């Protein structure tokens, strides 16, 4: 699914209006009805509603919502902030449509701001996606008072003061919403951790924007849904065998960290690989053979760390390296040999990322179109460099992907995937319960298995990240977010694959 910029969203609105032969006020009515339907499914009419409207089209949405909620039996008060003389035409149309019972109160200074309590439901309709300057003055005073209150705030389309697709200036005020209800598609801002306190929990309501426009508009920004992930899965043929589904090699584990190898191995096997071999320090050989009997094991000559590669490296169809590896000199040398000699695609994680990050020579050895990096934010910072903010971090990630012709899976909530051709994908599965040691090792195993099965690197990233998060979401229902561990994610991989395969 595509993510559109604020400018493209305005173009989609205009295209839809022209295509359907409707007015902009008609489209505003449609959007407000969608928001109102969501709102009445969430909040009871017994709860009083205060709607704060700015003079633009977002404020116009708020006026329509006020009228619709009043007709549905809600007690509604409307507050107009700022000068409405220069209000947008659609705002003025809907201001005239308000009944006398909804006569708005004007806020021109701090004294006009009403008292707020936890029993009040606030709807934020001050500013939408068109905002291009910091919020100051009376608008900032209203936002600050809303943020300081115990009122429950729901934002229409965007939290007021937050830019939709660029860095918001630090000096402006921004609404801290509990819910944000976006029209048709989410906004790029929703996927960045720095905005969690402003966006809250976001939802999308369809408003019938032109599918023709959305399908044809050019963008490099996407978010992955089950409709995107499901078609990627390759059906299995009746006369296939274990050799059909690839032979993966995992180079992982170290003294005291064999659990990382076990987790990666179990996840790899649960993700459909035909054959799996692990090379581990000799101290971990018995551990691995006992914990993962379905995998083959090779014992490194070194007891505690990885110091060599298998002799027959060419027989493997994909290689995963990093979990529990350590960064000792012998391991660094081995990784350099792998980069210099391997023709197979590689999934590089954890300490393998840290080793490469510390060496420009190793970066220069990265084979083009053969590497997927799976860093967490700190590993990413070591590999790519420190960014000023999360928008810059996305830009820096894409520049790195293009320079080294590789893929990066930046782990976290709404995991971001960067590609060599400049595309950026955000994942929509997963939860806070997965913020626990070992889940990254699980992801390495999943993606390595998919690459071994001859999925393209882009397909392996998209499907691997989605199925990893989906397994976590299924585990959440059984164990909750506090008690979840990485093994729970592995245990729910079969359900995740079944769930995705059964969706039409």
Give yes or no: residues 197 and 312 share one domain. no
Query: What percentage of the chain has pLDDT greater than the value 90?
Result: 98
Sheet with strand 424-427: strands edge to edge: 221-224, 424-427, 416-418, 407-410, 371-373, 346-348, 318-321, 247-251, 275-280, 296-299
Average pLDDT, the chain: 97
Find out whether 107 and 142 touch, Cβ atoms under 8 Å.
yes
**What number of other Cβ atoms are within 10 A of residue 59's Cβ?**
29
Q: Model-level pTM?
A: 0.96
Report the CATH number that the domain containing residue 214 is assigned in CATH: 3.40.50.10260
Over its C-alpha atoms, the chain yields an Rg (Å, rounded) of 26
216 pLDDT higher than 90: yes
- Sign, Cα dihedral of 288, 259, 324, 417: positive
353 pLDDT higher than 90: yes
Domain assignment of residue 237, yes or no = no
**Which residue is listed with tokens 């009419």?**
45
Give yes or no: residues 110 and 253 share one domain. no
CA–CA distance, 42 with 203 (Å, rounded to integer): 12
Sheet with strand 120-125: strands edge to edge: 105-107, 76-81, 48-53, 120-125, 152-156, 179-183, 201-205
Average pLDDT over residues 201-219: 98
Give yes or no: residues 208 and 248 share one domain. no
503 pLDDT higher than 70: no
Give yes or no: residues 432 and 463 share one domain. yes
383 pLDDT higher than 50: yes
CA–CA distance, 287 with 117 (Å, rounded to integer): 58
Q: Convert the pLDDT of each residue in 133-144 to its tens digit.
A: 999 999 999 999
Please state the φ and ψ torsions of residue 183, each to the nearest 5 degrees.
-90, 125
504 pLDDT higher than 50: no
Find out whether 442 and 486 touch, Cβ atoms under 8 Å.
yes
Query: H/E/C letters for each residue in 245-286?
Result: HCEEEEECCCCCCHHHHHHHHHHHHHCCCCEEEEEECHHHHH
Give yes or no: residues 273 and 406 share one domain. yes
127 pLDDT higher than 60: yes
CA–CA distance, 478 with 289 (Å, rounded to integer): 29
Average pLDDT over residues 473-486: 98
Q: How many domains does the chain have?
A: 2
- The range of the structural domain enclosing residue 54 comes to 6-219
Give the model's confidence band at 159: pLDDT under 50 very low, under 70 low, under 90 confident, else very high. very high
Average pLDDT over residues 454-472: 98
Average pLDDT over residues 23-34: 98
Give yes or no: residues 279 and 426 share one domain. yes
Domain assignment of residue 224, yes or no = no
Give the model's confidence band at 441: pLDDT under 50 very low, under 70 low, under 90 confident, else very high. very high
- Higher-pLDDT residue of 85 and 446 is 446
Give yes or no: residues 316 and 369 share one domain. yes
Average pLDDT over residues 369-384: 98
Give yes or no: residues 311 and 453 share one domain. yes
Q: What are the tokens at 442?
A: 């699980």
CA–CA distance, 458 with 440 (Å, rounded to integer): 18
Distance of CA 321 to the CA centre of its chain: 24
Find out whether 110 and 37 touch, Cβ atoms under 8 Å.
no
Strands of 282-404 (E only): list them: 296-299, 318-321, 346-348, 371-373
Residue 314, pLDDT score:
95
Find out whether 311 and 338 touch, Cβ atoms under 8 Å.
no
Give the model's confidence band at 145: pLDDT under 50 very low, under 70 low, under 90 confident, else very high. very high
Give the model's confidence band at 502: pLDDT under 50 very low, under 70 low, under 90 confident, else very high. confident
Q: Convert the pLDDT of each residue in 303-320 to its tens digit.
A: 999 999 999 999 999 999
Average pLDDT over residues 74-102: 96
268 pLDDT higher than 50: yes
Q: Name residues whose C-beta falls within 8 Å of residue 329's C-beta, 6 or more positions apart in sequence.
A: none
Give yes or no: residues 346 and 257 share one domain. yes
Q: Convert the pLDDT of each residue in 92-103 to its tens digit.
A: 999 999 999 999
Give yes or no: residues 141 and 249 share one domain. no
């Amino acid at each position: 699914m595509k993510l559109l910029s604020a400018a493209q969203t305005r173009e989609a609105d205009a295209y839809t209006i022209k295509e359907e032969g409707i007015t902009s006020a008609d489209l505003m009515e449609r959007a407000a009805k969608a928001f109102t339907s969501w709102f009445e499914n969430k909040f009871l009419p017994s709860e009083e509603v205060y709607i704060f409207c700015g003079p633009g089209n977002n404020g116009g949405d708020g006026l329509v919502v006020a009228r619709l909620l009043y007709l549905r039996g809600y007690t509604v008060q409307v507050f107009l902030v700022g000068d409405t003389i220069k209000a947008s035409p659609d705002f003025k149309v809907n201001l005239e449509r308000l009944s006398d019972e909804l006569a708005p109160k004007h806020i021109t200074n701090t004294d006009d701001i009403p008292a707020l309590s936890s029993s009040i439901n606030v709807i934020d309709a001050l500013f939408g996606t068109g905002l291009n300057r910091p919020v100051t003055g009376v608008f900032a005073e209203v936002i600050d008072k809303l943020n300081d209150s115990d009122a429950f705030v729901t934002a229409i389309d965007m939290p007021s003061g937050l830019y939709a697709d660029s860095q918001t200036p630090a000096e402006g005020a921004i609404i801290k919403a509990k819910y944000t209800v976006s029209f048709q598609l989410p906004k790029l801002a929703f996927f960045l951790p720095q905005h969690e306190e402003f966006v809250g929990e976001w939802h999308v309501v369809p408003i019938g924007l032109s599918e023709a426009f959305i399908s044809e508009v050019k963008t490099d920004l996407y978010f992955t849904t089950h409709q995107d992930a499901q078609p990627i899965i390759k059906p299995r043929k009746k006369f296939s065998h274990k050799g059909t589904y690839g032979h993966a090699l995992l180079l992982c584990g170290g003294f005291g960290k064999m659990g990382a190898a076990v987790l990666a191995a179990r996840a790899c096997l649960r993700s459909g690989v035909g054959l799996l071999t692990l090379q581990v320090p000799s101290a971990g050989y018995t551990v691995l053979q006992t914990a993962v009997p379905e995998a083959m094991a090779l014992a490194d000559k070194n007891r505690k760390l990885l110091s060599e590669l298998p002799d027959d490296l060419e027989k493997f169809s994909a290689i995963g390296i990093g979990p529990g590896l350590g960064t000792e000199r012998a391991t660094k040398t081995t990784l350099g040999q792998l980069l210099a000699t391997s023709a197979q695609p590689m999934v590089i994680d954890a300490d393998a990322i840290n080793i490469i990050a510390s060496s420009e020579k190793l970066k220069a050895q990265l084979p083009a179109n053969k590497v997927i990096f799976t860093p967490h934010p700190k590993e990413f910072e070591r590999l790519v460099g420190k960014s000023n903010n999360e928008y810059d971090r996305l830009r820096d990630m894409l520049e790195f992907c293009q320079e080294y012709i590789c893929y990066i899976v930046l782990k976290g909530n709404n995991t971001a995937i960067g590609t060599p051709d400049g595309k950026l994908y955000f994942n929509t599965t997963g939860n806070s319960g997965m913020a626990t040691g070992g889940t990254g090792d699980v992801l390495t195993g999943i993606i390595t298995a998919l690459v071994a099965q001859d999925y393209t690197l882009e397909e392996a990233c998209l499907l691997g990240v989605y199925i990893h998060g989906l397994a976590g979401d299924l585990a959440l229902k059984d164990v909750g977010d506090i008690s979840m561990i990485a093994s729970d994610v592995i245990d729910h991989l079969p359900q995740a694959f079944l769930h995705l395969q059964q969706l039409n």
